[in-house]
Amino acid sequence: MALTDSEIRELEVKAEKVRETIIEMLVAAGSGHTAGPLGMADIFTALYFHVLHHDPKNPEWADRDRLFLSNGHITPVRYSAMAHAGYFPVEECLTLRKFGSRLQGHPEREKLPGVESTSGPLGSGLSQASGYAYATRMDKKRFHVYCALSDGEHNEGNLWEAMLFAGKNKLSNLTAIVDRNNIQIDGNTEDIMPLEPLRDKYEAFNWHVLEIDGHNIPQFIAACDEAKAIYEKPTVIIAHTIAGKGVKEIEGDFRYHGYAVKGKDEEKKFLDELRTLGGKISSEHQ
C-alpha cells in the first residue's frame, strides 16, 4: 500500500530527528563513525517506523522481524532509531561508547535488548542472518530477516561465502540492504577494491537485486515490499546513499568515515546544517 504524502513527510521528519541524535551522541562520545550512520538514517528510520514488525516495549517478541547489522560501526544510527522508536530513552544515547553503557561502541547482543547480534568485525553479518533465516524456515516461522551491510565489507571473503549460501538455499525470507555509499576508510571503494558491477555479482549468485535511492524513503519501502513478494530467491536492496547525508561539508567524503564530530562549534555547524534540510529531503522524492 502506497504511503500518503503526510506519512512520507512524517517519516522524513523522524529521519531528521534520528540524524540529530546521531550527531549529539557522537559529540558526547567524542569518537565513533559519522558518515555511515548519517547516510543510513533514512533507511533505519523507514525500518523502525514502517517496515519492521516489532514491539519496542517487548524487544524479545518471538514473532518480530529480525534486523541484523553487519557493519557494526554504524550502530549509532540503529541506537538512535531504536531510541526514537521507544526501545529506551533518547537521553541514553548520550552514553554511547562510555564505561558501563549498554550502547557499546560496536553493538553487543547481550548488552542491549533489540540488538539481534554482536557485530563489528566485517563480513560476517550476512552469514549470521542467513543462518538465522535458514533455521527459522526449518521451523516454518513467518517473520522476515533483514541484514544491513556496507559496501566496503564486500572486500571480506566471508561475505561472498554467505552470498553463495543464501543463493543456494533460496532464502526468500532474507533481505539484505547494502549501503552503497562508495566510501571506505582508505578511500573510495572503486579505488580500494572495485565492487562494480555489484548488481551483476549478486545476480550471478542467484539473488534478486533491487537498486534504489537510499534517501528516498518511499522507494526503500516499496523495495522491501517487493522483496517479500519474491519467493524463489533472497533479495538484496542496493541502496545508493550519500555518506554523511544531511551535513553538506562531509557528504560523500571518505575522510569522515571514522571521524567523530568535535567540539561545540562543529556540533552547532553540523546541527544547523541538518536543521536546514527540511524542504530538501522531501523535494528529492517528489
- 192 vs 94, 113, 141, 154, CA distance in Å? 34, 36, 40, 11
CB atoms within 10 A of CB 86: 12
Q: Residue 26 corresponds to which amino acid?
A: L
Among 7, 55, 64, 165, binds another protein (CB under 8 A): 165
Instruction: Please give the angle made by the CA atoms of 203, 237 and 60, to the nearest 5 degrees.
Output: 125
| Window 44-83: residues binding another protein (CB under 8 A) | 68
**And the C-alpha cell for 239?**
541502496
**And the C-alpha cell for 5?**
504524502
Segment near another protein (CB under 8 A); pick from 51-59, 130-138, 196-204, 212-220: 130-138
Q: Rounded to the nearest whole angstrom, what is the least distance from the CB of residue 54 to another protein in the complex?
A: 16
Q: Rounded to the nearest whole angstrom, what is the least distance from the CB of residue 104 to another protein in the complex?
A: 10
Among 40, 133, 177, 178, binds another protein (CB under 8 A): 133
DSSP assignments along 14-51, one per residue: HHHHHHHHHHHHHHHHS-S--HHHHHTHHHHHHIIIII
Segment near another protein (CB under 8 A); pick from 16-24, 35-43, 114-122, 264-272: 114-122
Strand partners, 145: 66, 174
By the rule CB under 8 A, 219 interacts with another protein: no
232-261 burial, b at 16+ Cβ within 10 Å, e below that, comes to ebbbbbbbbbbbbbbbeebbbebebbebbb
Sign of CA dihedral 97, 99, 103, 107: positive
Q: Which of 54, 46, 74, 231 is nearest to 151 (CA)?
A: 74
By the rule CB under 8 A, 155 interacts with another protein: no
Q: Rounded to the nearest whole angstrom, what is the least distance from the CB of residue 12 to another protein in the complex?
A: 33
Among 21, 45, 75, 117, binds another protein (CB under 8 A): 117
Among 31, 86, 135, 249, binds another protein (CB under 8 A): 135
By the rule CB under 8 A, 150 interacts with another protein: no
Q: Which of 37, 65, 41 is nearest to 51 (CA)?
A: 65
21 vs 127, beta carbon nearer another protein: 127
Among 101, 134, 226, 228, binds another protein (CB under 8 A): 134
Q: Rounded to the nearest whole angstrom, what is the least distance from the CB of residue 272 to another protein in the complex?
A: 38
Segment near another protein (CB under 8 A); pick from 5-13, 161-169, 225-233, 278-286: 161-169
119 vs 241, beta carbon nearer another protein: 119
By the rule CB under 8 A, 129 interacts with another protein: yes
How many angstroms separate the CA atoms of 214 and 76, rounded?
17
By the rule CB under 8 A, 204 interacts with another protein: no
Q: Rounded to the nearest whole angstrom, what is the least distance from the CB of residue 201 to another protein in the complex?
A: 17
134 vs 259, beta carbon nearer another protein: 134
Question: H-helix or E-strand containing 282?
Answer: helix 278-285
Binding site for another protein (CB under 8 A): 68, 108-110, 116-121, 124, 127-136, 138, 157-158, 161-162, 164-165
